[in-house]
A = this chain, B = another copy of it.
């Protein structure tokens, strides 16, 4: 019944994520969000109360997928499979949720001023779990004694860069937009670097 409400909220959220991704929180005007969503500006406030609130909802929409991507991580998994699966999930997020990914990156870059302590704790806990898992593999001699923190940082950076720095990637490759094959090549390259780097030395 309230399909108009749901539809309008959805339109505004989508427009907001694009605008926030494109310009950043401070530089984004609610009037532009309203224009892009095709609704009058006061409706944005009617549905979301404030610009900051709307921003937080965009942020929230990306946290669940990010946490979800870590599910393959557990000590009993096969390292090569866990790492490959994780890298593919992260690349998929960059491909399928490019705007929210960028908003999240920008938020992190500026010290996460809008994340709740609970969200920070959740993300941080997840990261620590993944790193512990990698350390476990090292202790069991399943992979080379590579620094697990720096390995995680490299994986995050290499996968997120396809959303965060899409302008640079378009400029260098000459392609306005990457296609499925490009994302597949990206995933394979990162997987190769990580798996070869984790192979125990002979």
A158 vs B193: C-alpha distance when bound (angstroms): 12
A190 to B197, CA, bound (A): 9
Q: Say what secondary structure dominates the interface of chain A.
A: helix
Closest residue of B by beta carbon distance from A105: B109
29 example contacts (A-B, Cβ-Cβ < 8 A) are as follows: A22-B110, A23-B110, A24-B110, A25-B27, A26-B27, A105-B165, A106-B109, A108-B167, A108-B168, A109-B164, A110-B167, A124-B171, A127-B172, A131-B172, A149-B172, A150-B185, A151-B193, A153-B158, A153-B162, A153-B165, A154-B161, A154-B193, A156-B168, A157-B158, A157-B161, A189-B197, A192-B197, A193-B197, A196-B197
Contact B173 A149 (CB under 8 A): yes
**How many angstroms between the C-alpha atoms of A165 and B173 in the bound complex?**
25
Is A35 an interface position by the 8 A CB rule?
no
Given A154-B158, A157-B161, A161-B156, decide whether A172 and B26 contact each other with a Cβ distance below 8 A.
no
A80 at the interface (CB under 8 A from B): no
Q: Roughly how many angstroms separate A128 CA and B105 CA in the complex, as a whole number?
A: 26
Report Cα–Cα, A26/B25, bound state, in Å: 9
Chain A: interface residue total (CB-CB under 8 A): 52
Q: Is A97 an interface residue (CB 8 A)?
A: no
Tell me, in angstroms, the Cα distance from A160 to B109 when the chains sit together: 12
Listed from nearest, the 6 A-B pairs whose CB atoms lie closest are: A26-B27, A193-B197, A157-B161, A150-B189, A26-B26, A157-B157
Please measure, in the bound complex, the distance between the C-alpha atom of A98 and the C-alpha atom of B151, giving whole angstroms.
21
Q: A10 an interface residue at 8 Å Cβ cutoff?
A: no
- Residues of B near A128 (CB, < 8 A) are 172
Cβ-defined contact, B131 with A152, below 8 A: no
